[in-house]
Amino acid sequence: MTPPRLAAAAVLLAALGAPWAAGWGALALALGAGLGIAALLRGVGGPARAGAWGAAVGAPLALLTVFTLKAAAPNIVIAGQKAAERTAVSTLRTLLWAQDTFVAGYGRAGLIAELSGARPVQPPLEAELLRTPFRALVDTPQGAAADVSGYRFAVFVRTPGGAITEGGEVPPGAVDWIAYAWPTKQGATGFAAFCINRFEDILETTNDQAYSGSDRAPAWDACVVDPAAADLRLAEGQGGDGHAWRRWRGKQTRRAKAAE
């Protein structure tokens, strides 16, 4: 095949393949790029040379664009969501530390507003136990929660009279608590939801429950298998919301093992 015909074939294949680059058109684009390069190597000249260059350069660019849109971009989004989920668990562990400190000083568990300093306690905290974003609470059907790094966080304290959340009064000696983290917008800021207690039992759910933002917030016993147990331990199984919860990353933390 002469160089001009190679160039013409390259342009034709590139033009035919471009609209369907995500399917069979990818093969046409690859062939068009190859023929364009072949035409250039054989010294095609005149107007045909411009067409050969267009096929040799444009076809690979079209393939790269489709790959980015169809494969790379979704993977980047998923990676970001996974990072947000890891940050959510890390934040729950920070909340655990804050609760440990609060219980040691006040003889009871604290609520988010108390731990962050947004709600005064007596005697006053020497320093805030949770960072600034926890001071701004938003309403949910299950009580107020805080938005931090793409996840929403809520704390419930179990008392003989029932679970207490933001705005309630936690009585002395109430040390059993549970905290939840769920996406502010499921599918955009994360997928999974998590819970933790004072023993550092950490559970996660794939979130078929669709916990998301303010419209769908977990109840206090959503991940609790046995809410009547003497100690509020968290175990794998069907939680109070009727869905499966499993140990985060499939294992117990050292603190949780030591508490058994």
The model's pLDDT over 65-117, given as tens digits with 9 standing for 90+, comes to 555 555 544 554 555 667 889 999 999 999 999 999 999 999 999 999 999 99
pTM of the model: 0.73
pLDDT for residue 230: 86
pLDDT higher than threshold 60 for residue 137: yes
pLDDT higher than threshold 80 for residue 133: yes
Of 33 and 155, which is predicted with more confidence?
155
In 3D space, the residue among 31, 32, 37 whose CA is nearest the CA of residue 3 turns out to be 37
Mean pLDDT score across all residues of the chain? 82
pLDDT for residue 81: 67
pLDDT for residue 1: 64
pLDDT higher than threshold 50 for residue 9: yes
Q: What residue segments make up the domains of the chain, in order of their start?
A: 3-73, 80-258
